[in-house]
Structure 1
């Protein structure tokens, strides 16, 4: 039996297993029948992944290509194709590059030759957020006009974010801003400036820098509306006495929170943060030599937390105190690989839980193979790390 003896349905199932964009032109040359079937296959594609990263980049930065998705790492190909013809139904584009030259012109070409998209993830790790190439200085004309239907926007380039909100923020279509999976936090200054357009936001990944704190945030802190629909929040690089932390008071319906606290000099004023009874998943990363105090002060603000992951070295007494503070806790993970793994300490925790009738799944680091079977852990990481929010459109 030859492959062309198979019915069209079977051939389409085979073609659905191909995801490299460079393969399809070759397949289309086999015969007219294959060309027609490949065109049908490409019309199914909803997500286009352009990941041009160096080989030493972490695997988490690379999208797992499945479902209605095709991909390429060929920058030259990206500058030639017309998505309206090749992939007419693409709704989301993930474009990451770690190589020179600047990839802004390639993105502009893709957007100008695509039908309206709903999701964009754009990062070039060779450049910082203030990057201003010739094209970026014309972002209002060459990139922004094609973002009017965007629901997911993830980029570290300030010019793209500012231009988008000035042009389309009033439509309040955005559901996701930033991307934790690729370390794609946006600067908190943009939240301060454009929060009035974020009332429909569901997922937000932000980080605080010194400039945002000292020059800008105080100006906007009394103008931020309550973001009632925000359920998933990732705060990176939360500084001492950071106003970004106080932003939690404007997010009453959070369910999942990841927060990284960096302490340089002054203590963090946890007393300025209201308790949140809706958070069920919490991840804390603390960079401070007096981290025990911060862990206690943080977790007590989220008394209904069911999943807690702490990236920090902590003492046995703090672990027990955390369990006392969180009566609904069912999964506890201490994610520092350098943490003491003294069997006596581990047994003391288990003995405490048994004595007080606490059913808690306890893990001493995030590399524990059994974590993959923990539903709360999977749910938390599915929100922030293991899948791009862009994939929701597949």
Structure 2
């Protein structure tokens, strides 16, 4: 039997198993029958991305040789996010990519890497999510639709140059790959920002973390994921962030050599007294993760007193915290009528039981604008590029 003689159900099953956009395009061109049958498959595609696994609404954007991107809007009429990264754009005319971005009405987000240098005229597009490494510091348009901005190899000072262009941001992710000093700066007030994720990989000897200074300019902030790789943290304990409910602090301890170079000691950027002051900035905090810390059982006992509304405490990767702390938290909750989920073991299976919907795989895109479900339990390097607020 020839493949074209297969029943429609069999062909549909084959089309559903195809995860490569180039293969789908080729099938689309075979004949009118295939073209009509494959429409059901392609209408379900919302994400054109590169990752290690694919769900039915995703197809791979890794194609070599490059494809005619102008056909993507026709083939995938419900496409929401496209990864326009190498090698897709290696030999594709810039004009074709611009046309795709500006004429695909369903397109809400684009991902492009360091190889892509061009101006998309985004103020005329329908984009709400952007992920990039490079941008023009002289950018002066107003991009009111953009609600999520994912920047890598950037710092807060550079972002300040274009901050005025994105007045309606709700989620901001900034990570800096280079060892460059981070200067103190006065950022604008971000009235609508709900989620921030910041990792400033600073020079360990001279750098200071300004992430909390930035957060002070975000009065509506609800969630924050901060990775700290420096020897000093700057914050103003007098400013309270009353709306913050979810906080992840991922410390990276540094090994500092002694003068005789015969041994090393581990250095932490914040002491217990300062950590208490920092926590007092967030009086309504409900979910707290402190990863890779020096904390002890006694610190945990004090921490639950500092944060009266705490309902979840994640202290994994902190070897100084033992079962005694867990017992104390349980007894304290029983005595005072509080409920606190406490995780301290590196491979705590209770998390899977308490959060059955949790997926720890490094998704580039997660469905739903939900920090707790998609970000809280992940390391900074595995955070998604976008939280797609899709309802269906």
TM-score by length of 1: 0.73
1:155 aligns with 2:123: no
What CA distance in whole angstroms lies between the structure 2 residues aligned with 1:327 and 1:112?
A: 51
Structure showing the higher helix proportion among its residues: 1
Q: What residue in structure 1 maps to residue 7 of structure 2? A: 4
Q: What residue in structure 1 maps to residue 35 of structure 2? A: 35
Q: Tell me the secondary structure at the aligned position of residue 206 of structure 1.
A: strand
Measured after TM superposition, the shift of residue 70 of structure 1 is 2.0
1:306 aligns with 2:306: no
Measured after TM superposition, the shift of residue 341 of structure 1 is 5.9
Q: What residue in structure 2 maps to residue 178 of structure 1? A: 150
Q: What residue in structure 1 maps to residue 364 of structure 2? A: none
Q: What residue in structure 1 maps to residue 94 of structure 2? A: 108
What CA distance in whole angstroms lies between the structure 2 residues aligned with 1:212 and 1:147?
A: 35
Deviations 1:328-385 (A, max 9, x none): 111111131x624643444344334434433211111464232134359955354535
What CA distance in whole angstroms lies between the structure 1 residues aligned with 2:277 and 2:91?
A: 47
1:45 aligns with 2:45: yes
Q: What residue in structure 2 maps to residue 56 of structure 1? A: none
Distance 1:187 1:106, change over 3 A: farther
1:71 aligns with 2:60: yes
Preserved CA contact (<8 Å) 2:237 2:281: no
Q: What residue in structure 2 maps to residue 206 of structure 1? A: 174
Match 2:113 to one of 107, 111, 123 = 123
Q: Tell me the secondary structure at the aligned position of residue 190 of structure 2.
A: coil
Q: Tell me the secondary structure at the aligned position of residue 236 of structure 1.
A: strand
Q: What residue in structure 1 maps to residue 82 of structure 2? A: 93
Report 1 or 2 for greater relative contact order, CA contacts < 8 Å, sequence distance ≥ 6: 1
Q: Tell me the secondary structure at the aligned position of residue 65 of structure 2.
A: helix
Q: Tell me the secondary structure at the aligned position of residue 330 of structure 2.
A: helix
What CA distance in whole angstroms lies between the structure 2 residues aligned with 1:362 and 1:17?
A: 41
Preserved CA contact (<8 Å) 1:371 1:377: no
Q: Which runs of 5+ in 1 are unaligned?
A: 52-61, 125-132
1:225 aligns with 2:188: yes
Preserved CA contact (<8 Å) 1:333 1:365: no
Measured after TM superposition, the shift of residue 248 of structure 1 is 1.3
1:326 aligns with 2:317: no
Preserved CA contact (<8 Å) 2:143 2:166: no
Q: What residue in structure 1 maps to residue 389 of structure 2? A: 392
What CA distance in whole angstroms lies between the structure 1 residues aligned with 2:199 and 2:220?
A: 20
Distance 1:376 1:287, change over 3 A: farther
What CA distance in whole angstroms lies between the structure 2 residues aligned with 1:189 and 1:107?
A: 33
Preserved CA contact (<8 Å) 2:108 2:126: yes
Q: Moved runs in structure 1, 4+ residues, more than 6 A? A: none
Preserved CA contact (<8 Å) 1:82 1:110: no
Q: Tell me the secondary structure at the aligned position of residue 259 of structure 1.
A: strand
Deviations 1:18-60 (A, max 9, x none): 43224324544775322212145324433211x2xxxxxxxxx
Say how many residue pairs are matched: 345
What CA distance in whole angstroms lies between the structure 2 residues aligned with 1:104 and 1:194?
A: 27
Distance 1:79 1:315, change over 3 A: farther
Preserved CA contact (<8 Å) 1:155 1:186: no
Q: Tell me the secondary structure at the aligned position of residue 38 of structure 1.
A: helix
